[in-house]
Chains A and B, each alone.
Chain A
Amino acid sequence: MVQINFARKEVNCKIVYYGCGLSGKTTNLEVVHEKAPSDRKGELTSIATEGDRTLFFDFMPLDLGKVGGMSTKFQLYTVPGQVYYNATRKLVLQGADGVVFVADSQRSKLEENIESLKNLEENLRENGLDIRKIPLVIQYNKRDLPDAMPVEELDEKLNWYGCPTFEAVAIRGEGVFPTLKKLSAMVLAKLNKEYGVGSRKPARTESRAQAAKASSGEISTSDRPAPTRKPAAKLQRQSALETATATAAPPATERRKGAAQTERPARSEPARPPRRSPPPPRERDPLRTAARRRTPPPPPARSPETRRSGSGNAVFYAIYALLALVVIGVVYLLVSGKLNEWIANL
Protein backbone atom coordinates (compact mmCIF):
# COMPACT_ATOMS: atom_id res chain seq x y z
CA MET A 1 0.00 0.00 0.00
CA VAL A 2 1.66 3.20 -1.14
CA GLN A 3 2.19 5.68 1.64
CA ILE A 4 2.12 9.31 0.53
CA ASN A 5 3.51 11.59 3.18
CA PHE A 6 3.32 15.28 2.32
CA ALA A 7 4.90 16.30 5.61
CA ARG A 8 8.06 14.31 4.92
CA LYS A 9 7.61 14.83 1.16
CA GLU A 10 7.91 11.10 0.68
CA VAL A 11 6.28 8.39 -1.38
CA ASN A 12 6.92 4.88 -0.09
CA CYS A 13 6.15 1.78 -2.11
CA LYS A 14 6.53 -1.86 -1.15
CA ILE A 15 7.85 -4.34 -3.70
CA VAL A 16 7.99 -8.05 -2.94
CA TYR A 17 10.07 -10.72 -4.66
CA TYR A 18 8.08 -13.94 -4.62
CA GLY A 19 8.83 -17.42 -5.92
CA CYS A 20 9.61 -20.99 -4.99
CA GLY A 21 12.57 -22.01 -2.84
CA LEU A 22 16.02 -21.34 -4.32
CA SER A 23 14.61 -19.54 -7.36
CA GLY A 24 16.94 -16.57 -6.80
CA LYS A 25 14.88 -13.97 -4.93
CA THR A 26 17.59 -13.12 -2.42
CA THR A 27 20.17 -13.13 -5.21
CA ASN A 28 18.10 -10.52 -7.05
CA LEU A 29 18.12 -8.32 -3.99
CA GLU A 30 21.84 -8.83 -3.46
CA VAL A 31 22.53 -7.77 -7.03
CA VAL A 32 20.36 -4.67 -6.65
CA HIS A 33 22.22 -3.87 -3.45
CA GLU A 34 25.58 -4.40 -5.09
CA LYS A 35 24.91 -2.45 -8.26
CA ALA A 36 22.60 0.36 -7.18
CA PRO A 37 24.28 3.75 -6.76
CA SER A 38 25.61 3.98 -3.22
CA ASP A 39 23.70 7.16 -2.41
CA ARG A 40 20.42 5.51 -3.37
CA LYS A 41 20.50 2.26 -1.46
CA GLY A 42 20.08 1.41 2.19
CA GLU A 43 21.36 -1.50 4.17
CA LEU A 44 20.45 -5.03 3.07
CA THR A 45 18.92 -6.80 6.03
CA SER A 46 18.38 -10.56 5.95
CA ILE A 47 16.52 -12.62 8.47
CA ALA A 48 17.93 -15.95 7.40
CA THR A 49 18.84 -19.32 8.82
CA GLU A 50 22.42 -20.34 9.42
CA GLY A 51 22.32 -22.11 6.10
CA ASP A 52 21.55 -18.78 4.42
CA ARG A 53 17.98 -19.74 3.60
CA THR A 54 15.54 -16.89 4.09
CA LEU A 55 13.65 -17.40 7.34
CA PHE A 56 11.40 -14.35 7.36
CA PHE A 57 12.46 -11.86 4.70
CA ASP A 58 15.30 -9.87 3.19
CA PHE A 59 14.83 -6.14 3.08
CA MET A 60 16.50 -3.18 1.49
CA PRO A 61 15.31 0.36 0.87
CA LEU A 62 16.03 1.93 -2.50
CA ASP A 63 15.74 5.67 -2.97
CA LEU A 64 14.71 6.78 -6.42
CA GLY A 65 15.39 10.42 -5.55
CA LYS A 66 13.07 13.37 -5.95
CA VAL A 67 10.16 12.69 -8.25
CA GLY A 68 7.70 15.52 -8.63
CA GLY A 69 9.11 17.11 -5.48
CA MET A 70 8.58 13.93 -3.45
CA SER A 71 11.38 11.67 -2.27
CA THR A 72 10.31 8.36 -3.81
CA LYS A 73 11.41 5.21 -2.04
CA PHE A 74 10.96 1.54 -2.74
CA GLN A 75 11.12 -0.94 0.09
CA LEU A 76 12.26 -4.22 -1.46
CA TYR A 77 11.37 -7.45 0.31
CA THR A 78 11.84 -11.11 -0.46
CA VAL A 79 9.76 -13.90 0.99
CA PRO A 80 10.99 -17.29 2.19
CA GLY A 81 10.39 -19.65 -0.70
CA GLN A 82 10.14 -22.90 1.20
CA VAL A 83 6.63 -24.35 1.39
CA TYR A 84 6.88 -24.62 5.18
CA TYR A 85 7.03 -20.85 5.64
CA ASN A 86 3.72 -19.92 4.09
CA ALA A 87 2.54 -18.00 7.16
CA THR A 88 5.54 -15.68 7.03
CA ARG A 89 5.23 -15.37 3.25
CA LYS A 90 1.70 -14.13 3.70
CA LEU A 91 2.82 -11.57 6.27
CA VAL A 92 5.52 -10.14 4.03
CA LEU A 93 3.03 -9.84 1.19
CA GLN A 94 0.76 -7.65 3.29
CA GLY A 95 0.35 -4.21 1.73
CA ALA A 96 2.54 -5.00 -1.30
CA ASP A 97 2.35 -2.48 -4.15
CA GLY A 98 4.02 -4.69 -6.73
CA VAL A 99 5.33 -8.23 -7.04
CA VAL A 100 8.26 -9.72 -8.95
CA PHE A 101 7.64 -13.43 -9.39
CA VAL A 102 11.05 -15.10 -9.74
CA ALA A 103 10.60 -18.38 -11.58
CA ASP A 104 13.30 -21.03 -11.80
CA SER A 105 13.61 -21.85 -15.50
CA GLN A 106 14.66 -25.45 -14.93
CA ARG A 107 12.20 -28.07 -16.14
CA SER A 108 12.53 -29.96 -12.87
CA LYS A 109 11.24 -26.87 -11.03
CA LEU A 110 8.16 -26.30 -13.16
CA GLU A 111 5.73 -27.83 -10.70
CA GLU A 112 7.21 -25.82 -7.84
CA ASN A 113 6.89 -22.64 -9.89
CA ILE A 114 3.25 -23.36 -10.64
CA GLU A 115 2.53 -24.14 -6.99
CA SER A 116 4.27 -20.96 -5.90
CA LEU A 117 2.31 -18.84 -8.39
CA LYS A 118 -0.94 -20.33 -7.17
CA ASN A 119 0.21 -19.71 -3.63
CA LEU A 120 0.95 -16.08 -4.53
CA GLU A 121 -2.56 -15.61 -5.87
CA GLU A 122 -4.06 -17.16 -2.76
CA ASN A 123 -1.93 -15.18 -0.33
CA LEU A 124 -2.63 -11.94 -2.17
CA ARG A 125 -6.32 -12.71 -1.98
CA GLU A 126 -6.08 -13.35 1.74
CA ASN A 127 -4.40 -9.96 2.08
CA GLY A 128 -7.26 -8.34 0.16
CA LEU A 129 -5.25 -7.94 -3.04
CA ASP A 130 -6.09 -9.16 -6.53
CA ILE A 131 -3.28 -10.65 -8.59
CA ARG A 132 -4.94 -9.26 -11.72
CA LYS A 133 -4.85 -5.73 -10.36
CA ILE A 134 -1.52 -5.55 -8.62
CA PRO A 135 1.52 -4.68 -10.78
CA LEU A 136 3.17 -8.04 -11.47
CA VAL A 137 6.29 -8.97 -13.43
CA ILE A 138 7.64 -12.49 -13.98
CA GLN A 139 11.36 -13.11 -14.16
CA TYR A 140 12.55 -16.34 -15.74
CA ASN A 141 15.76 -16.84 -13.81
CA LYS A 142 18.63 -19.29 -14.28
CA ARG A 143 18.52 -19.07 -18.06
CA ASP A 144 22.11 -20.31 -18.20
CA LEU A 145 21.32 -23.78 -16.85
CA PRO A 146 21.19 -26.69 -19.32
CA ASP A 147 17.79 -27.82 -18.07
CA ALA A 148 16.22 -24.39 -18.65
CA MET A 149 12.88 -24.57 -20.45
CA PRO A 150 12.33 -22.45 -23.56
CA VAL A 151 10.83 -19.07 -22.75
CA GLU A 152 7.81 -19.79 -24.96
CA GLU A 153 7.01 -22.87 -22.92
CA LEU A 154 7.47 -21.02 -19.64
CA ASP A 155 5.16 -18.32 -20.95
CA GLU A 156 2.50 -20.87 -21.63
CA LYS A 157 2.88 -22.65 -18.32
CA LEU A 158 3.32 -19.66 -16.03
CA ASN A 159 2.26 -16.39 -17.56
CA TRP A 160 -1.45 -16.84 -16.93
CA TYR A 161 -1.99 -13.15 -16.47
CA GLY A 162 -0.21 -11.83 -19.53
CA CYS A 163 2.20 -9.77 -17.47
CA PRO A 164 5.63 -8.58 -18.60
CA THR A 165 8.35 -11.23 -18.42
CA PHE A 166 12.12 -10.98 -18.31
CA GLU A 167 14.92 -13.47 -18.77
CA ALA A 168 17.64 -13.38 -16.15
CA VAL A 169 20.75 -14.99 -14.80
CA ALA A 170 20.54 -13.25 -11.45
CA ILE A 171 23.73 -14.76 -10.10
CA ARG A 172 25.60 -12.90 -12.85
CA GLY A 173 23.46 -9.81 -12.41
CA GLU A 174 21.80 -10.23 -15.81
CA GLY A 175 18.19 -9.20 -16.15
CA VAL A 176 17.87 -8.04 -12.55
CA PHE A 177 17.66 -4.30 -13.17
CA PRO A 178 15.35 -4.49 -16.22
CA THR A 179 12.92 -6.56 -14.13
CA LEU A 180 12.90 -4.16 -11.22
CA LYS A 181 12.81 -1.12 -13.48
CA LYS A 182 9.73 -2.38 -15.26
CA LEU A 183 7.91 -3.19 -12.05
CA SER A 184 8.88 0.16 -10.52
CA ALA A 185 7.53 1.93 -13.59
CA MET A 186 4.26 -0.01 -13.29
CA VAL A 187 3.91 0.83 -9.60
CA LEU A 188 4.60 4.53 -10.18
CA ALA A 189 2.26 4.62 -13.17
CA LYS A 190 -0.48 3.21 -10.98
CA LEU A 191 0.27 5.77 -8.29
CA ASN A 192 0.28 8.56 -10.86
CA LYS A 193 -3.02 7.37 -12.22
CA GLU A 194 -4.65 7.28 -8.80
CA TYR A 195 -3.19 10.40 -7.25
CA GLY A 196 -1.43 12.44 -9.91
CA VAL A 197 -2.67 14.96 -12.37
CA GLY A 198 -0.13 14.01 -15.04
CA SER A 199 -2.67 12.01 -16.97
CA ARG A 200 -4.70 15.16 -17.46
CA LYS A 201 -1.91 16.91 -19.30
CA PRO A 202 -3.54 17.80 -22.61
CA ALA A 203 -0.51 17.16 -24.82
CA ARG A 204 -0.06 13.57 -23.66
CA THR A 205 -3.42 12.63 -22.36
CA GLU A 206 -3.94 9.54 -24.42
CA SER A 207 -0.58 7.85 -24.15
CA ARG A 208 -0.22 8.45 -20.44
CA ALA A 209 -3.70 7.32 -19.63
CA GLN A 210 -3.15 4.14 -21.60
CA ALA A 211 0.24 3.58 -20.02
CA ALA A 212 -1.15 4.07 -16.58
CA LYS A 213 -3.93 1.65 -17.28
CA ALA A 214 -1.74 -1.03 -18.76
CA SER A 215 1.15 -0.59 -16.39
CA SER A 216 -0.94 -0.29 -13.32
CA GLY A 217 -2.10 -3.83 -13.45
CA GLU A 218 -5.59 -2.45 -13.01
CA ILE A 219 -6.51 -4.54 -15.89
CA SER A 220 -8.60 -7.24 -14.48
CA THR A 221 -10.26 -9.21 -17.21
CA SER A 222 -9.82 -6.58 -19.84
CA ASP A 223 -6.05 -6.31 -20.13
CA ARG A 224 -4.76 -9.52 -18.63
CA PRO A 225 -6.29 -12.69 -19.98
CA ALA A 226 -7.80 -14.98 -17.41
CA PRO A 227 -5.95 -18.26 -16.95
CA THR A 228 -8.57 -20.24 -18.77
CA ARG A 229 -9.01 -17.86 -21.67
CA LYS A 230 -6.33 -19.43 -23.80
CA PRO A 231 -7.86 -18.59 -27.19
CA ALA A 232 -7.77 -14.90 -26.31
CA ALA A 233 -4.17 -15.19 -25.21
CA LYS A 234 -3.36 -16.92 -28.47
CA LEU A 235 -4.88 -14.09 -30.46
CA GLN A 236 -2.88 -11.65 -28.39
CA ARG A 237 0.33 -13.43 -29.18
CA GLN A 238 -0.45 -13.66 -32.87
CA SER A 239 -1.29 -10.02 -33.05
CA ALA A 240 1.95 -9.12 -31.32
CA LEU A 241 3.89 -11.30 -33.71
CA GLU A 242 2.22 -9.74 -36.70
CA THR A 243 3.06 -6.29 -35.41
CA ALA A 244 6.60 -7.34 -34.83
CA THR A 245 7.19 -8.72 -38.31
CA ALA A 246 8.10 -5.35 -39.68
CA THR A 247 10.75 -4.53 -37.11
CA ALA A 248 14.39 -5.47 -36.87
CA ALA A 249 15.56 -8.03 -34.32
CA PRO A 250 18.21 -7.26 -31.75
CA PRO A 251 20.97 -9.85 -31.40
CA ALA A 252 19.94 -12.93 -29.43
CA THR A 253 22.70 -12.36 -26.91
CA GLU A 254 21.25 -9.00 -26.02
CA ARG A 255 17.97 -10.57 -25.02
CA ARG A 256 19.77 -13.25 -23.13
CA LYS A 257 21.66 -10.77 -21.05
CA GLY A 258 18.55 -8.96 -20.14
CA ALA A 259 19.99 -5.82 -21.71
CA ALA A 260 16.91 -5.56 -23.83
CA GLN A 261 13.50 -5.81 -22.31
CA THR A 262 12.01 -9.14 -23.21
CA GLU A 263 8.51 -8.31 -22.19
CA ARG A 264 5.99 -10.33 -24.09
CA PRO A 265 2.32 -11.02 -23.92
CA ALA A 266 0.96 -14.31 -22.69
CA ARG A 267 1.22 -17.21 -25.04
CA SER A 268 -0.89 -20.25 -25.00
CA GLU A 269 -0.07 -22.44 -27.98
CA PRO A 270 3.36 -23.94 -27.59
CA ALA A 271 2.59 -26.73 -30.05
CA ARG A 272 2.31 -24.21 -32.85
CA PRO A 273 5.83 -23.26 -33.94
CA PRO A 274 6.41 -19.58 -33.35
CA ARG A 275 6.70 -17.51 -36.46
CA ARG A 276 10.20 -16.40 -37.18
CA SER A 277 9.63 -12.76 -36.57
CA PRO A 278 11.69 -10.28 -34.65
CA PRO A 279 10.42 -8.85 -31.38
CA PRO A 280 9.12 -5.29 -31.27
CA PRO A 281 11.77 -2.59 -30.93
CA ARG A 282 12.82 -1.59 -27.47
CA GLU A 283 10.96 1.38 -26.13
CA ARG A 284 12.66 3.85 -23.88
CA ASP A 285 9.65 5.11 -22.05
CA PRO A 286 8.93 2.64 -19.26
CA LEU A 287 5.73 4.33 -18.21
CA ARG A 288 4.29 4.05 -21.67
CA THR A 289 5.87 0.85 -22.84
CA ALA A 290 3.28 -1.46 -21.40
CA ALA A 291 0.45 0.31 -23.10
CA ARG A 292 2.11 0.01 -26.46
CA ARG A 293 3.21 -3.56 -26.12
CA ARG A 294 0.07 -4.87 -24.73
CA THR A 295 -2.14 -6.07 -27.50
CA PRO A 296 -5.81 -5.17 -27.62
CA PRO A 297 -7.49 -6.45 -24.50
CA PRO A 298 -9.55 -9.58 -24.73
CA PRO A 299 -13.23 -9.17 -23.99
CA PRO A 300 -13.84 -9.26 -20.25
CA ALA A 301 -14.73 -12.62 -18.77
CA ARG A 302 -18.41 -12.62 -18.10
CA SER A 303 -20.49 -14.62 -15.77
CA PRO A 304 -23.32 -16.72 -17.19
CA GLU A 305 -25.81 -14.09 -16.06
CA THR A 306 -24.13 -11.24 -17.85
CA ARG A 307 -23.69 -13.32 -20.97
CA ARG A 308 -27.46 -13.49 -21.40
CA SER A 309 -28.12 -10.33 -23.31
CA GLY A 310 -29.96 -9.06 -26.41
CA SER A 311 -31.85 -11.76 -28.26
CA GLY A 312 -30.60 -14.36 -25.75
CA ASN A 313 -32.50 -12.53 -23.03
CA ALA A 314 -35.76 -12.52 -25.04
CA VAL A 315 -35.67 -16.30 -25.56
CA PHE A 316 -34.86 -16.78 -21.91
CA TYR A 317 -37.82 -14.71 -20.73
CA ALA A 318 -40.17 -16.36 -23.25
CA ILE A 319 -39.34 -19.81 -21.86
CA TYR A 320 -39.97 -18.53 -18.36
CA ALA A 321 -43.32 -17.06 -19.37
CA LEU A 322 -44.35 -20.34 -21.04
CA LEU A 323 -43.44 -22.36 -17.97
CA ALA A 324 -45.35 -19.95 -15.76
CA LEU A 325 -48.46 -20.32 -17.94
CA VAL A 326 -48.26 -24.14 -17.76
CA VAL A 327 -47.91 -24.01 -13.95
CA ILE A 328 -50.84 -21.61 -13.62
CA GLY A 329 -52.95 -23.87 -15.86
CA VAL A 330 -52.18 -26.99 -13.81
CA VAL A 331 -52.94 -25.20 -10.55
CA TYR A 332 -56.25 -23.93 -11.95
CA LEU A 333 -57.23 -27.42 -13.06
CA LEU A 334 -56.30 -28.86 -9.67
CA VAL A 335 -58.27 -26.23 -7.78
CA SER A 336 -61.35 -26.53 -9.94
CA GLY A 337 -61.24 -30.33 -9.79
CA LYS A 338 -61.31 -30.53 -13.56
CA LEU A 339 -57.99 -32.31 -13.71
CA ASN A 340 -59.37 -35.35 -11.84
CA GLU A 341 -62.33 -35.34 -14.18
CA TRP A 342 -60.10 -35.17 -17.24
CA ILE A 343 -57.85 -37.97 -15.94
CA ALA A 344 -60.90 -40.13 -15.14
CA ASN A 345 -62.16 -39.55 -18.71
CA LEU A 346 -58.86 -40.76 -20.04
Chain B
Amino acid sequence: MIGKNSEQMRETRLVFYRDDVDRINDVLEEFLKLSGAKANILIDKEGHAVTQAGLTSSLNVDTLSALVAASFAATREMARLLGEEEFTILSHQGKNDHIQLTLIADRCILCTMFDDSTTVGMVRLYAAEASKKLHRIFDTIARRTEAPAGESIAADFGDQAESALDDVFGA
Protein backbone atom coordinates (compact mmCIF):
# COMPACT_ATOMS: atom_id res chain seq x y z
CA MET B 1 0.00 0.00 0.00
CA ILE B 2 2.68 2.42 1.06
CA GLY B 3 4.85 1.47 -1.86
CA LYS B 4 2.09 2.08 -4.34
CA ASN B 5 1.31 5.47 -2.92
CA SER B 6 4.98 6.37 -2.84
CA GLU B 7 5.16 5.59 -6.53
CA GLN B 8 2.21 7.87 -7.14
CA MET B 9 3.83 10.56 -5.02
CA ARG B 10 7.00 10.37 -7.06
CA GLU B 11 5.02 10.98 -10.19
CA THR B 12 3.10 13.97 -8.92
CA ARG B 13 4.37 17.17 -7.45
CA LEU B 14 3.75 17.84 -3.80
CA VAL B 15 1.81 20.80 -2.59
CA PHE B 16 2.15 21.23 1.14
CA TYR B 17 -0.84 22.70 2.93
CA ARG B 18 -0.77 24.20 6.42
CA ASP B 19 -2.55 21.30 8.03
CA ASP B 20 -0.11 18.77 6.54
CA VAL B 21 2.92 20.77 7.61
CA ASP B 22 1.52 21.15 11.14
CA ARG B 23 1.25 17.39 11.41
CA ILE B 24 4.76 16.95 9.99
CA ASN B 25 6.08 19.51 12.50
CA ASP B 26 4.52 17.57 15.37
CA VAL B 27 6.38 14.44 14.27
CA LEU B 28 9.67 16.31 13.88
CA GLU B 29 9.36 17.97 17.31
CA GLU B 30 8.60 14.65 18.96
CA PHE B 31 11.56 13.06 17.19
CA LEU B 32 13.90 15.79 18.45
CA LYS B 33 12.59 15.42 21.99
CA LEU B 34 13.03 11.66 22.07
CA SER B 35 16.35 11.42 20.25
CA GLY B 36 18.10 14.43 21.76
CA ALA B 37 19.05 15.71 18.28
CA LYS B 38 19.49 19.44 17.67
CA ALA B 39 17.57 20.14 14.53
CA ASN B 40 15.57 18.63 11.71
CA ILE B 41 15.01 19.85 8.19
CA LEU B 42 12.65 18.05 5.87
CA ILE B 43 13.80 18.53 2.28
CA ASP B 44 12.18 17.42 -0.95
CA LYS B 45 14.23 15.56 -3.51
CA GLU B 46 14.64 18.69 -5.64
CA GLY B 47 16.45 20.39 -2.77
CA HIS B 48 13.70 22.68 -1.48
CA ALA B 49 13.14 22.76 2.28
CA VAL B 50 9.64 21.73 3.29
CA THR B 51 9.78 22.50 6.99
CA GLN B 52 12.22 22.60 9.87
CA ALA B 53 12.30 22.08 13.63
CA GLY B 54 14.79 22.77 16.41
CA LEU B 55 17.84 25.02 16.27
CA THR B 56 17.91 26.00 12.62
CA SER B 57 18.15 29.79 12.89
CA SER B 58 21.93 29.79 12.45
CA LEU B 59 21.80 27.50 9.43
CA ASN B 60 21.71 28.48 5.77
CA VAL B 61 18.72 26.27 5.13
CA ASP B 62 18.44 26.93 1.38
CA THR B 63 22.02 25.98 0.60
CA LEU B 64 22.02 23.08 3.03
CA SER B 65 18.86 21.72 1.42
CA ALA B 66 20.34 21.94 -2.07
CA LEU B 67 23.51 20.17 -0.97
CA VAL B 68 21.65 17.46 0.94
CA ALA B 69 19.44 16.70 -2.06
CA ALA B 70 22.45 16.60 -4.38
CA SER B 71 24.35 14.39 -1.99
CA PHE B 72 21.42 12.02 -1.74
CA ALA B 73 20.98 11.96 -5.49
CA ALA B 74 24.65 11.14 -5.98
CA THR B 75 24.43 8.37 -3.40
CA ARG B 76 21.41 6.92 -5.15
CA GLU B 77 23.45 6.66 -8.32
CA MET B 78 26.22 4.93 -6.37
CA ALA B 79 23.65 2.48 -4.99
CA ARG B 80 22.38 1.81 -8.47
CA LEU B 81 25.90 1.05 -9.69
CA LEU B 82 26.23 -1.45 -6.85
CA GLY B 83 22.92 -3.07 -7.74
CA GLU B 84 21.06 -1.55 -4.78
CA GLU B 85 17.82 0.29 -5.36
CA GLU B 86 18.62 3.05 -2.92
CA PHE B 87 20.58 3.76 0.26
CA THR B 88 17.87 4.94 2.61
CA ILE B 89 20.12 6.27 5.36
CA LEU B 90 23.28 8.36 5.08
CA SER B 91 25.48 9.52 7.93
CA HIS B 92 28.12 12.22 8.00
CA GLN B 93 30.28 12.26 11.08
CA GLY B 94 32.15 15.38 12.15
CA LYS B 95 34.26 16.26 15.18
CA ASN B 96 31.39 17.72 17.13
CA ASP B 97 28.38 17.79 14.88
CA HIS B 98 26.94 15.04 12.79
CA ILE B 99 24.24 14.70 10.18
CA GLN B 100 21.97 11.81 9.42
CA LEU B 101 19.90 11.79 6.24
CA THR B 102 16.86 9.53 6.07
CA LEU B 103 14.83 8.97 2.95
CA ILE B 104 11.10 9.40 3.62
CA ALA B 105 8.42 7.95 1.40
CA ASP B 106 10.84 8.02 -1.52
CA ARG B 107 10.03 11.68 -1.93
CA CYS B 108 11.65 13.68 0.88
CA ILE B 109 14.83 13.57 2.90
CA LEU B 110 14.87 14.12 6.64
CA CYS B 111 18.11 15.84 7.59
CA THR B 112 18.83 15.47 11.30
CA MET B 113 21.67 17.38 12.95
CA PHE B 114 22.95 16.18 16.28
CA ASP B 115 26.03 16.37 18.48
CA ASP B 116 27.71 14.21 21.10
CA SER B 117 24.96 14.82 23.65
CA THR B 118 23.17 11.90 22.01
CA THR B 119 24.22 8.84 20.03
CA VAL B 120 23.91 7.67 16.46
CA GLY B 121 21.88 4.70 17.70
CA MET B 122 19.29 6.89 19.41
CA VAL B 123 18.95 9.11 16.36
CA ARG B 124 18.64 6.12 14.06
CA LEU B 125 16.08 4.39 16.28
CA TYR B 126 13.75 7.37 16.57
CA ALA B 127 14.35 8.38 12.94
CA ALA B 128 12.93 5.03 11.90
CA GLU B 129 9.80 5.68 13.98
CA ALA B 130 9.44 9.23 12.68
CA SER B 131 9.92 7.92 9.16
CA LYS B 132 6.92 5.59 9.49
CA LYS B 133 4.73 8.40 10.81
CA LEU B 134 5.84 10.76 8.05
CA HIS B 135 5.19 8.03 5.54
CA ARG B 136 1.57 7.86 6.64
CA ILE B 137 1.21 11.65 6.44
CA PHE B 138 2.67 11.68 2.93
CA ASP B 139 0.25 8.97 1.88
CA THR B 140 -2.59 11.20 3.02
CA ILE B 141 -1.10 14.12 1.09
CA ALA B 142 -0.77 12.00 -2.03
CA ARG B 143 -4.40 10.93 -1.82
CA ARG B 144 -5.67 14.46 -1.40
CA THR B 145 -7.69 15.56 -4.38
CA GLU B 146 -8.94 18.97 -3.29
CA ALA B 147 -7.13 21.93 -1.83
CA PRO B 148 -8.27 23.16 1.59
CA ALA B 149 -10.36 26.32 1.45
CA GLY B 150 -8.32 29.49 1.17
CA GLU B 151 -5.12 27.75 0.16
CA SER B 152 -4.53 28.39 -3.50
CA ILE B 153 -2.39 30.62 -5.66
CA ALA B 154 -3.79 34.17 -5.60
CA ALA B 155 -5.79 35.45 -8.54
CA ASP B 156 -3.35 38.27 -9.19
CA PHE B 157 -0.26 36.02 -9.07
CA GLY B 158 0.52 36.65 -12.74
CA ASP B 159 0.35 40.44 -12.44
CA GLN B 160 2.42 40.48 -9.28
CA ALA B 161 4.97 38.16 -10.84
CA GLU B 162 5.52 40.67 -13.62
CA SER B 163 6.27 43.53 -11.28
CA ALA B 164 8.41 41.31 -9.03
CA LEU B 165 10.50 40.30 -12.05
CA ASP B 166 10.85 43.96 -13.02
CA ASP B 167 12.00 44.77 -9.48
CA VAL B 168 14.74 42.18 -9.47
CA PHE B 169 15.87 42.14 -13.09
CA GLY B 170 14.96 45.67 -14.16
CA ALA B 171 12.07 46.73 -16.39
Number of A-B contacts (CB under 8 A): 173
Q: A8-B51, A67-B157 are in contact. Are A184 and B62 (CB under 8 A)?
A: no
Q: A5-B50, A7-B51, A94-B45 are in contact. Are A64 and B157 (CB under 8 A)?
A: no
Given A12-B46, A75-B48, A195-B15, 12 other A-B contacts at CB below 8 A? A1-B13, A4-B153, A40-B168, A56-B70, A56-B74, A59-B63, A68-B157, A73-B62, A177-B169, A191-B153, A198-B159, A212-B158
CB-based contact A184/B159 at 8 Å: no
Contact with A along B137-171 (1 / 0, CB 8 A): 00000000000000111111111111011011111
Contact of B161 among A43, A180, A192 (CB under 8 A): A192
CB proximity to A under 8 Å, residues B120-136: none
CB-based contact A65/B164 at 8 Å: yes
CB-based contact A7/B156 at 8 Å: no
A62 closest partner in B (C-beta): B168
Residues of A within 8 A of B22 (CB): 7
Residues of B within 8 A of A47 (CB): 70
Residues of B within 8 A of A198 (CB): 153-159
What is the minimal beta-carbon distance from A26 to any residue of chain B, in angstroms? Answer: 15
A87, B46: Cα distance in complex, Å: 16
Q: Does B4 contact A (CB under 8 A)?
A: no
Contact of A45 among B17, B63, B170 (CB under 8 A): B63
A196, B16: Cα distance in complex, Å: 15
Residues of A within 8 A of B164 (CB): 64-67, 72
CB-based contact B62/A75 at 8 Å: yes
A208, B159: Cα distance in complex, Å: 10
Taking beta carbons and an 8 Å cutoff, which residues of B are in contact with A?
Answer: 13-18, 20-22, 44-51, 60, 62-63, 66-67, 70, 73-74, 77, 151-162, 164-165, 167-171
CB-based contact A3/B73 at 8 Å: no
Q: Does A70 contact B (CB under 8 A)?
A: yes
Contact of B169 among A180, A195, A284, A287 (CB under 8 A): A180
Contact of B155 among A64, A73, A201, A287 (CB under 8 A): A201
Residues of A within 8 A of B15 (CB): 3-6, 195
Main secondary structure of the interface of A (DSSP, over half): mixed
A77 closest partner in B (C-beta): B66
B62 closest partner in A (C-beta): A61
CB-based contact B50/A285 at 8 Å: no
A-B contact pairs, 8 of them (CB 8 A): A3-B48, A7-B17, A59-B67, A64-B167, A67-B161, A92-B70, A94-B45, A197-B153
Q: A59-B66, A192-B153, A287-B161 are in contact. Are A7 and B14 (CB under 8 A)?
A: no
